[in-house]
């Protein structure tokens, strides 16, 4: 090596020479970005930008449905899509009419929450025949559309019941008496969840189901049903409810009877702050969350996949299941509990 020179100096000189020798096309590419990136974004925008996504929940003003709507709307707006929402306000006749009107409007994607396995079947099928991609949200109908997003209800029921067996089953020293509070009997969330619960509970002969009634997703109904059950069965070991907001009524009846420490109250649900409050206040022993925020994201991912896939509506069936997670007093806080959102509004002209 020549005196006064170093490897670092030589490397710097070589780098300078290389820079001076770069072709002008490479410099232009660096300034404007890669061709691949431009092509990918152009394809993405072509498939999504300006398209309309419509959302029909059973009602707005409910944390579960509002969180779905908030996430879907936020994702749609970022991509330059139009968002439409309709609120049947728990009126099934109004829901059917709203669905018919939405199909006639021909959005590109329609996301629907089914109140029962049969009510909306014909219109969902008609929507796909009209060229609309249909995603069924959390509760399916007997018609399989392009996609389903939500909980595996049989799995949810099984997981709930497995924990109840641990607490109330053979060797627990308890009465083994269990109450079940269902939602709407014709809803998929009840039909499949009760199957998972019963298939699991019957494996332990020590478990005795002393009440299995539907409260139709209403907390007051759950309270009244449970008040009677706890009078008739003062040694009740556990209560299983199919939705947190509804099951809060059952928990209140048990607390009113002075049995909240004895009776282990279980619920499944979306995981809002309201659900977590029930856990931290000691009303719910454990809560099985199917994470509404994640479901909202999955619904939009499903919409993306359908719009980008180029398939004809009604010719594919995709499933996007959300993983249920247990919440108790140790983790019913922070990111596990989303704040209650405001009902979303449409961004497209109606």
Q: How far apart are CA 107 and CA 327, in angstroms?
A: 38
Residues 103 and 211 in one domain: no
Helix axes 121-129 and 92-105, enclosed angle (nearest 10): 0
**Domain annotation covers residue 32:** no
Q: Are residues 116 and 194 in the same domain?
A: no
Identify whether the C-beta of residue 176 lies closer than 8 Å to the C-beta of residue 217. no
Domain count, the chain: 2
Model pTM score: 0.89
The domain that holds 246 is classified in CATH as: 3.40.50.2300
Q: Are residues 210 and 135 in the same domain?
A: no
- Asked, for residue 244, whether it belongs to a domain, the answer is yes
Residues 50 and 117 in one domain: yes
Domain boundary among 264, 289, 314: 289
Predicted confidence (pLDDT) per residue in 303-349, tens digit: 999 999 989 999 999 999 999 999 999 999 999 999 999 999 999 86
* Residue 139 sits in the same domain as residue 175: no
Picking from 63, 84, 56, the residue whose alpha carbon sits closest to that of residue 291 is 63
In the DSSP assignment, the letter for residue 202 is T
Question: What is the predicted pLDDT for the residue at 70?
Answer: 98
Q: What is the DSSP letter of 260?
A: T
State the pLDDT at residue 33.
87
Asked if 192 and 278 sit in the same domain, the reply is yes
**Contact criterion met (CB below 8 Å) for 240 and 214:** no
Residues 120 and 165 in one domain: no
pLDDT at position 349: 66
User: Do the Cβ atoms of 252 and 290 come closer than 8 Å?
Assistant: no
Show Cβ contacts of residue 256 under 8 Å, excluding neighbours closer than 6 positions.
227
**Token pair for 194:** 């009760």
Domain that holds residue 237: 153-289
Q: What is the pLDDT of residue 20?
A: 53
N-term to C-term CA, the chain? 79
pLDDT score for 94? 98
Quick one: which of 279, 293, 255 has its CA closest to 330? 279
Q: Which tokens is 24 given?
A: 């002008």
Give the E-state strand segments of the chain in sequence order.
Answer: 52-56, 82-85, 109-112, 133-137, 147-150, 177-182, 208-214, 238-241, 264-269, 286-289, 318-321, 325-327
Q: What is the Cα–Cα distance from 178 to 144, expressed in whole angstroms?
A: 34
Query: Can you tell me the distance from the alpha carbon of 163 to that of 239, in angstroms, rounded to the nearest whole number?
Result: 12
pLDDT, tens only, 36-85: 999 999 999 999 999 999 999 999 999 999 999 999 999 999 999 999 99
> 268 and 157, same structural domain?
yes
* pLDDT at residue number 281: 98
In the block, residue with structure tokens 């997670």? 325
Distance set, CA 19 to CA 141, 155, 191, 302 (Å): 64, 61, 69, 46
Q: Are residues 285 and 157 in the same domain?
A: yes
**Low-confidence spans in the chain with pLDDT less than 70:** 1-30, 349-350
In a domain, 135, yes or no: yes
Q: What are phi and psi of 44, to 5 degrees?
A: -65, -50
């Amino acid at each position: 090596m020549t005196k006064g020179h170093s490897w670092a100096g030589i490397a710097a000189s070589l780098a300078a020479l290389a820079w001076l020798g770069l072709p002008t096309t490479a410099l232009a590419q660096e300034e404007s970005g890669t061709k691949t990136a431009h092509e990918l974004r152009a394809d993405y925008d072509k498939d999504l930008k300006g398209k309309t996504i419509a959302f029909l929940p059973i009602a707005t003003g409910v944390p579960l449905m509002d969180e779905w709507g908030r996430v879907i709307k936020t994702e749609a707006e970022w991509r330059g899509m139009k968002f439409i929402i309709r609120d049947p306000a728990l009126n099934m006749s109004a829901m059917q009419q709203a669905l018919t009107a939405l199909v006639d409007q021909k959005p590109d994607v329609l996301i629907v929450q089914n109140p029962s396995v049969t009510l909306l079947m014909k219109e969902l099928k008609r929507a796909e025949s009209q060229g609309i991609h249909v995603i069924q949200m959390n509760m399916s109908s007997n018609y399989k559309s392009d996609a389903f997003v939500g909980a595996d209800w049989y799995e949810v029921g099984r997981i709930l019941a497995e924990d109840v067996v641990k607490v109330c089953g053979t060797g627990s020293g308890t009465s083994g008496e269990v109450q079940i509070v269902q939602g709407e009997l014709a809803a998929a969330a009840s039909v499949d969840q009760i199957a998972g619960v019963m298939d699991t509970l019957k494996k332990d002969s020590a478990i005795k189901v002393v009440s299995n009634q539907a409260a139709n997703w209403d907390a007051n109904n759950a309270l009244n049903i449970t008040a009677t059950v706890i009078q008739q069965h003062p040694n009740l070991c556990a209560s299983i409810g199919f939705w947190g907001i509804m099951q809060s009524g059952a928990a209140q009846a048990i607390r009113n009877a002075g049995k909240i420490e004895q009776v282990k109250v279980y619920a499944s649900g979306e995981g809002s702050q309201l659900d977590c409050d029930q856990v931290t206040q000691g009303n719910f022993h454990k809560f099985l969350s199917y994470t509404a925020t994640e479901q909202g994201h999955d619904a939009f991912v499903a919409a993306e996949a359908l719009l980008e896939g180029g398939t004809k509506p009604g010719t594919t069936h995709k499933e996007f299941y959300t993983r249920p997670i247990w919440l108790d007093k140790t983790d019913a806080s922070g990111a596990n509990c989303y704040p209650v959102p405001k009902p979303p509004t449409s961004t497209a002209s109606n």
